[in-house]
Amino acid sequence: MKFDNKTVLITGANRGIGKALVEEALKKNIKKIYACSRKLENLPNFKDSRVVPIQLDISDLAQIQAVATKTQDVQILINNAGVVSPGGLFDCDLKRDMDINYFSTIDMMREFVPFLEKNSDPRIVNIVSIAAYVNFPFIAGYSASKAALYSATQAARIELSTKGIPVHAVNPGAIDTDMNKGSTMDMTSPEDVAASILNEIEKEVEDIIPDKIGRGMYEIWERSAKELEAMSKKMYLG
């Protein structure tokens, strides 16, 4: 698969990985990018006529339906928008995390699939998290929502294989974005992460881990899920 001459829609395109994905996609001879944000004024000026700004709050089903109807030429749907609520399982805003990261992302897939299957070389890319493999109790709700999203992504991958729509899961670790501001970890930049994601999609990799921290955690998980859980516990207890 190549991004040449493709039409892409990216949610949460105003900052972080979403913004970097727009910028990297523009380097790949892309035809059009629908860059979505809850507020249009938050979108940067990408200075490229191929970028079409779209106002979209994915927690609003009516907005999703309206945008899907207006962007029926989309071939690649990248579900990047999400939230993180700090706190443990017993004090975080679990409902908010689940509503946006899980239910709203499923709504996006459900509303766009009827249009995607009519277009050439369609696919879905869900930005999930390495937290799909282990819960980090300081962001317990976020971790739970991403584990649920990874499961839903697997379901979509199996179901949509009959329609010829590949579904990719991207499971990054800690990335140098606003979400991790102040961290002392040696994190990968969103620009490098975005480049890795797009390159891996072109190689048809289904499960993408685009950064060094994520890959390190995944290797631990491959050896032993309990070992990764123990690492999470050590991080939580300081």
State the CATH number of the domain containing residue 227.
3.40.50.720
Domain assignment of residue 55, yes or no:
yes
| Residue 1 belongs to some domain of the structure | no
pLDDT per residue as tens digits for the range 115-129: 999 999 999 999 999
Mean of pLDDT values over 161-167: 97
Q: What is the pLDDT of residues 172-207, one digit of tens each?
A: 988 866 565 555 566 789 999 999 999 999 999 999
Point out the catalytic residue in the list 102, 133, 142, 218: 142
Task: Tell me, yes or no, if 142 is annotated catalytic.
Answer: yes
Please tell me the predicted confidence (pLDDT) of residue 185.
Answer: 64
Domain count, the chain: 1
135 part of a folded domain: yes
Q: Is residue 12, in this structure, part of any structural domain at all?
A: yes
- Note whether residue 103 is domain-resident: yes
On the question of pLDDT at 134 being above 60, the answer is yes
Q: Which range of residues forms the domain containing residue 123?
A: 7-237
Instruction: Tell me whether residue 106 is in a domain.
Output: yes
* Its pTM surpasses 0.85: yes
pLDDT band at 238 (very low <50, low <70, confident <90, very high): confident
In a domain, 162, yes or no: yes
SS (H, E, C) the chain: CCCCCCEEEECCCCCHHHHHHHHHHHHHCCCEEEEEECCHHHCCCCCCCCEEEEECCCCCHHHHHHHHHHCCCCCEEEECCCCCCCECCCCCCHHHHHHHHHHHHHHHHHHHHHHHCCCCCCEEEEECCHHHCCCCCCEHHHHHHHHHHHHHHHHHHHHHHHHCCCEEEECCCCECCHHHCCCCCCCECHHHHHHHHHHHHHCCCCEECCCHHHHHHHHHHHHCHHHHHHHHHHHHHC
